[in-house]
Structure 1
Amino acid sequence: MHLIVHHWDTDGITSAALLVRALCLEDFTNMTASIGEFRFDERIRKAIEGAEKLYVMDFNVPGEVEKVNIETLFIDHHTQPRIRNPKVKQINPSLDGEYYPSASLVVSEYFGLWNAWSALGVVGDIGERAFEVPRVNELLDREGLSREEALRLVELMDSNYIAMDRGAVEKAVAVLLSQGTKELLEYEPWVRRADEIRRTIEETLSSVAERNGFAIVEFESPFNIISKVARRLVWEMGFRGAVVVNKNFHGKAQLYFRVSKEEAERIDMAEVIERLRTLGTNTGGKREVLGCVCERDKIEDALKIVEEYLR
Structure 2
Amino acid sequence: MLIIHHWDTDGIVSAVLAIKALNLEDFINITPPIGEFRFDNRIWKEIEKAEKIYVLDLNLPQEVENIEKETIFIDHHIQKRIKNPYVKQINPVLDGRDFPSASFVVSEYFSLWNYLSALGAVGDIGERAFSIKKVLELLNEKDISKEEALKLVQLIDSNYIVMERESVEKSVNVILELEPKELLEYEKWNKNVEMINNAIEDAISNIKVKDNIAFIEFESKFNIISKVARKVVWEMSYDGAIVVNKNFNGKGQIYFRISSNLVDKIKMNEIINTLKSKGFNAGGKKDVLGCICDKKEIDEVLNVIKKYKC
Q: TM-score if structure 1 supplies the norm length?
A: 0.98
Query: What one-letter code is carried by the residue in structure 2 that aligns with 1:248?
Result: N
Structure 2 partner of 1:166 = 165
Uncovered stretches (5+) of structure 2, i.e. residues with no partner: none
Superposition deviation, residue 105 in structure 1: 0.4
Kept after mapping to 2: 8 A contact 1:211/1:310 = no
Q: Does the 8 A contact of 2:266 with 2:309 survive in 1?
A: no
Provide, for residues 163-183 of structure 1, a one-character-per-residue CA deviation record: whole Å limited to 9, x for no partner.
110000000000010111121
1:176 aligns with 2:175: yes
Q: Percent identity?
A: 58
Which residue pairs with 1:274 in the alignment? 273
**Shift of the alpha carbon at 1:262?**
2.2
Contact 2:267 2:308 in 1 (8 A): no
Aligned to 1:83: 82
Which segments of structure 1 move beyond 4 Å, counting only runs of 4 or more?
A: none
- Aligned counterparts of 1:143 and 1:310: Cα–Cα separation in 2: 42
Please tell me the residue identity of whatever aligns with 1:76.
D
Distance, in Å, in 1 between the alignment partners of 2:177 and 2:280 is: 38
Distance between the aligned counterparts of 1:310 and 1:59, measured in 2?
25
Q: Equivalent residue of 1:300, what SS?
A: helix
User: Tell me, which stretches of 5 or more residues in structure 1 are unaligned?
Assistant: none
Amino acid at match of 2:100: P
Tell me if the contact between 1:234 and 1:240 (Cα under 8 Å) persists in the aligned partners: yes
- CA displacement 1:134-184 (0-9 Å, x = unmatched): 100110011000000000000000000001100000000000101111210
Contact 1:279 1:302 in 2 (8 A): no
Q: Which residue of 1 aligns with 2:92?
A: 93
In structure 1, what is the equivalent of residue 35 of structure 2?
A: 36
1:309 counterpart SS class: helix
Q: CA RMSD in A?
A: 0.8
* Corresponding position of 1:56: 55
Relative to structure 1, is the Cα distance of residues 172 and 166 closer, same or farther in structure 2, using a 3 angstrom cutoff? same
After superposing the two structures, state which structure 1 stretch, 260-269 or 172-181, moved more. 260-269
What TM-score, normalized to structure 2? 0.98
8 A Cα contact 1:212 1:310, kept in partner:
no
Q: Deviations over 1:92-129 (max 9, x none)?
A: 00000111010000011111111110000000000010
Amino acid at match of 1:155: Q
Q: Matches of 1:146 and 1:268 in 2, distance apart?
A: 35
Q: How does 1:6-25 map to 2 (within 5 A)?
A: 6-25=5-24
1:310 aligns with 2:296: no
Whole-Å separation in 2 of the counterparts to 1:83 and 1:228: 31
- The change in CA–CA distance for 1:46 and 1:89 in structure 2 (over 3 A counts) is same
* Contact 2:13 2:172 (8 Å CA) reproduced: yes
User: Could you tell me which amino acid in structure 2 is paired with residue 281 of structure 1?
Assistant: F
Give 1:207 deviation, angstroms: 1.6
C-alpha distance in 2 between matches for 1:183 and 1:246: 34
